Amino acid sequence: MHKNRIFISVLSIWLALISCNLPQSIVPQAAANGSSADLTATAMAASVPGSVVSTNTPVVAAATLAAATLPPESTATLTPSPTPCLPAVVANSSVNVRSGPGTVYPTVGALAQNGSAPIAGKSADGTWWYIDFAGGIGGHGWVSGGVVTAACVPATVAIIAAPPTPLPPSGTCKDGYVFRLARSSDKVCVPPASKAQADADNAAADSRKIVAVYGADACVEGYVWRDAFTVDHVCVTAAVRSQAAADNAAAASRWVAGAYGPHTCIAGFVWREAGAGDDVCVEASVRAQAQSDNAAASSRQAINASGPDACIPGYVWRDAYSGDHVCVTAAVHSQVAADNAAAASHTWP
C-alpha cells in the first residue's frame, strides 16, 4: 500500500515535468465536457505566436484572438463632390440687354461676345431670359434667347412678369406709317405708298423742270417760244407763235423794191422788227404785239418768273415742305397736302 502511494507520486511528478516541456503550438485536448466554441477559441489562440490560452474564458479569448489575426483595414480615398452647375447664359456675339422682354424696351447695357450672366428667370413665352445684370433696373435685365446660349437650366424656371410696355420715342411713326423722307429731314409720317411716290417723284424731278428740259429760256406755263427768227426765245401765247409762222411764210409776197430797198413792204404792211434785222412785213397790229411781247419777255421766262425749278406743263410743285419744288401731278400735290395735315395723328407725341 505504501509502495503504491510512492509510485503514484513519482508518476505524477514525471507527468508534470513532461507537460512543462511540451511546445506552445500544441494544444491539449479539451475536456470531454468542453464545447465546440471552447475548442475553436483555443485553437485560434494557439495559432497566434506567444499567445496565452485561458480555458476559463474561451468565447472572449476567441473573439479577441480573431480580431488580432485580421489584417488592418485599408483607408479609402474619398472623391470630392463636383461643384453644382448654375443656370447661366453666354452671349453668342455682342448682344443688347434691355429693360424688358422685347425690342420695344430700351437698352440698359450689353453683354460682350462670350460674356455670361446668371439666369434669374424667363418671360412668359420662354423667348427671353431674365438675368442678373448690374446695369439694369434692380440689378436685372433681359436678353433674347435667340442671341445667347443657355446652360444648366433646371426643368422649372421662374416666370418673370414683363414691365409695362414703354411708349415709342416721341416723333416716331405709329404702326402702319413711315417717314416720308421727301428730303433727309422730312419726318412726316405717311402710309408706305406715299413714301414710294415721294421716292419716284424725287428720281424724276429734273426731267419735269422746264429749265432742265428746255434751258434757261424756257417759258412759264401758258407760253411758248415765238420763233419769229432763229433762236427767237421770246415767250408768247400759242396764237402769237402761229401768227409769226404765217407771216414768215408770206414774207416774200409782201416785199417790193422801193424806198427801203428790196424788202420794202407793200401797202398795208410794216416791218415786224421782233428783233434786230427782222424785216418780215406784217400788219401794224402784229408789229405792236411783237413790241409788247418783247417788253414782257423776261417775266415769261421760267428762270425769271418761277426760278429754274419751274415745272413743265402737266406738273406743279409738290410743296411737301417750304421750298419743295419737285414737280408732281396735281393729284400727288393734293395727297401731300393731306398727309401734312394728318401728320400729328400718325406720329407718337
Enumerate residues 6+ apart whose C-beta is below 8 A from 251: 280, 281
Give me the pLDDT at residue 54, please.
Answer: 43
Residue 146 and residue 283 in one domain: no
On whether both 275 and 329 belong to a single domain, the answer is: no
pLDDT for res 271: 98
Verify that 243 and 115 share a domain, yes or no.
Answer: no
User: pLDDT digit string (tens) for 242-278?
Assistant: 999 999 999 999 999 999 999 999 999 999 999 999 9
Place of cell 415742305: 321
Say which residues have a Cβ less than 8 Å from residue 8's Cβ, sequence separation at least 6. none
| 221 within some domain | yes
- Do residue 203 and residue 224 come from a single domain? no
- Reported as a pLDDT band with limits 50, 70 and 90, residue 310 is confident
Burial class of residue 71 (count of CB atoms within 10 Å of its CB; 0-12, 13-18, 19+)? exposed
Confidence tier at 63 by pLDDT (50, 70, 90): very low
Query: Span 61-70, mean pLDDT?
Result: 46
**Domains of the chain: total:** 3
153/87 Cα distance (integer angstroms): 5
Residue 21 located in a structural domain: no
322, 282: one domain: no
Q: Which amino acid is at 151?
A: A
Q: Above 70 in pLDDT, residue 134?
A: yes
Looking from the CA of 197 toward its CB, the CA atoms found within 13 Å total 17
Cell of 334: 393734293
Mean pLDDT of the chain: 84
Are β-strands 88-91 and 116-122 bridged in parallel, bridged antiparallel, or unpaired? Answer: antiparallel
pLDDT of res. 135? 93
Identify whether residues 218 and 299 lie together within a single domain: yes
Burial code (b: 16+ CB inside 10 Å, e: under 16) for 290-315 equals beebbeebeebbbbbbbeebbbbeeb
- Domain membership flag for residue 264: yes
Question: Is residue 72 included in any domain, yes or no?
Answer: no
Considering the domain boundaries, does residue 44 fall inside one? no
What is the C-alpha separation between 73 and 88, in angstroms, rounded?
45
Judgement on whether residues 113 and 236 belong to the same structural domain of the protein: no
**Is residue 29 assigned to a domain?**
no
**Can you tell me the distance from the alpha carbon of 216 to that of 210, in angstroms, rounded to the nearest whole number?**
8
Burial class (CB in 10 A: 0-12, 13-18, 19+), 156: exposed
219 and 285 together in one domain: yes
The average pLDDT across 196-220 equals 93
Residues 201 and 327 in one domain: yes
Phi, psi of 299 (to 5 degrees): -75, -15
pLDDT digits (tens, 9 = 90+) for 211-250: 899 888 998 888 999 999 999 999 999 999 999 999 999 9
Segments forming the whole domain that contains residue 112: 88-151
Residue 159 lies in a domain: no
Please report the sign of the dihedral spanned by the C-alpha atoms of residue 133, residue 136, residue 141, residue 146: negative
Q: How many CA atoms lie within 13 A of 140 on its CB side?
A: 16
